[in-house]
Amino acid sequence: MLGLLLELAGGALLSWADERRRARNREGSAARGERVGFPACVLGDRPYCRNRSLVHLWLSGPTLHVTPTEFPELHPSRIPALSLVRVRHRDRHADSRLVQFSWEVAECRDGDRTVLIGCSPGSMRLLRAALAGADG
C-alpha cells in the first residue's frame, strides 16, 4: 500500500514539474517575441470573438490572433489592441460555459465594447504581459 502511495505521489510530482517546465519554456518564448499559443475563449460583440467555441489564442509580442484550432495558420483573426480592465476568477453563474472551471477571465475594452478572454492562470500571465506591451 505504501508503495502505491509513493508511486502516485511521485507521478503527481513529476507531472507538476513537467507542467512548470513547459510554462517556463512558453514564458521564455513569449519574452523573446516568439509566437506562443494556448486554449482560450474570446467572447464579445466583435468580429474576432468566437462566442460558441473554444479557440487558440496566439501571442507574438503584443500582437494577438485567434484561430479555431491549434494551428496558427488556419483562419487567423487579428485582435486589435485591447485595454485590460481587470482579471478575475471565473464566475460560474455569469460567465459562459466555455470558460473552464479553473480558468481566469480578463475583462478588456475594445473601444466602447467589452471583450472577455478566458484562459488558464498560466496562460493569463502571458496574456497580461502581451496586453501590457500593447498599451506601452
- 4-51 pLDDT per residue, tens: 666 766 665 555 555 556 656 666 656 677 788 899 999 999 988 888
Q: In which band, very low, low, confident or very high, does the pLDDT at 134 lie, cut at 50, 70 and 90?
A: low
All three cell numbers of 126, joined, read: 502571458
Q: Which helix (H) or strand (E) holds 119?
A: strand 113-119
Q: Where do the structural domains in the chain lie, given as residue ranges?
A: 2-135
Arch. (CATH architecture) of 2-135: Roll (2.30)
Closest C-alpha to 120, from 89, 96, 93:
89
Evaluate whether 70 touches 55 at the Cβ level (below 8 Å). Answer: no
The pLDDT value recorded for residue 38 is: 92
pLDDT tens for each residue of 56-97: 999 987 889 999 888 888 888 899 999 999 999 999 898 888
Q: How far apart are CA 78 and CA 74, in angstroms?
A: 12
* Poorest-pLDDT segment among 24-38, 94-108, 109-123: 24-38
Full-prediction pTM beyond 0.85? no
Q: What DSSP line would sit under 5-47, residue for residue?
A: HHHHHHHHHHHHHHHHHHHHHHHHHHHTT--EEEEEEEEESST
